[in-house]
Structure 1
């Protein structure tokens, strides 16, 4: 290795640390960032349409985990939820807030995201892949609840699956600010895979999502003992993440050897493969 190469590696390491330090400082603020450019545009158009129904609004909003989180957070705030009965699905959240309020919140967030699109543009492919993975995880989570965990709310599981990798989008947005990282998309890919989980947990808590969801998505990209029964929401999200392609994320964690989860060959899960695929296809068709 030459001296210049060593210096370059040192500078890159410093860039990584600077990025993570900056993220830590920002997590206490008003968090807004882009997830998918064309989706933000579609949501913005729907929010501007005064004739759009609540169901149509809900379908559009669910395309974006951040906007979904913000609307549900507001619907569960003291102002809109004096009874303390939390809502976990976007359609009921829109009903509780009222069309006007929901439209204003979503439109403001979508517009703010679009103003930041230049920062995420270099990583648009990565962003799109994370978004598709999130939708698949949400759809599969709902299937697992209905078939193997009837005591767990499928709407709660869908939401948890949708936002379980929210930290990845936040990191991609911030990576666009660093020239060294812009030149090394593969490095960013590994950096996001290794850090998005812990950052996402803090982010979801900052956004005010229910504690049950924050705990359910915690460490879902780290190997754990084989899940043979879906007792908790975290079990559902972990298994759904695997079947949605999350193994690739896990194997970017600098593990001593490749991880081979037994769940992917477990008959109780594999027998649901067709239903999982159908659920994912339906979600993708809508979104």
Structure 2
């Protein structure tokens, strides 16, 4: 794969998202962290990956959107229906069922991603670097206004408001489109990138500690600022020659390709297992990991099987 670092980033994203949900698994709940960083990574690499895909094969808008929706929504709907059937997700009436299928709060990430598909195509295919920068500035202004109107600075709420964080993640996704345009120029040596990465992550968690310890929630906007620096330094770190060689190691590469290929399924299946820490830490984590990986792999195989059946049926 040309951009193996994007597959590695996809794995980091899903690991951080999953870990942020494992508060029942840790004695100290603050160890269940990283969800905001993981979300941002995923939207960031989506912007890059979609740009790369359209650069290779530019297809018309409706075909492209249809392809993207069919990749996500059938799996999402079936998983949600399964969770409803076993009582893991509770719906009270038909309206509640409809809303849950269209926008399940447990998987808010995926519907938001599909909404972004409706506009990101035009940004990728029609805008040049300067125009993308102007688009980012416009989104930033909308973010500032939304932050002022929506955020409660008396408590931690920056990642609780779906509208505000969706605006931020749209900014991140468009930033990914911009990064693709200048991808070959994006370079820092391993020393600089690792140093910036270490400092930005340290600042991110120092910020969270300060907010929670001293109730300084008026500075919570800095969380998104540090996430942007983390994204930049993480990508440039993974793009360095030394780290690329490590990622291309035969065994490491197999692991990266396998886990990356089932990242969507991991996201869909882990929600069930996160509610049941079958043992004590760290044994519960060691049980959780294979359960999720096996379930995700089986889900991928099941959907692949039915997709092939449908394609064969249509070919007749």
Normalising by structure 1, report the TM-score.
0.29
Q: Higher helix fraction: Structure 1 or Structure 2?
A: 2
Highest relative contact order (Cα 8 Å, sep 6+), 1 or 2? 2
Normalising by structure 2, report the TM-score.
0.27
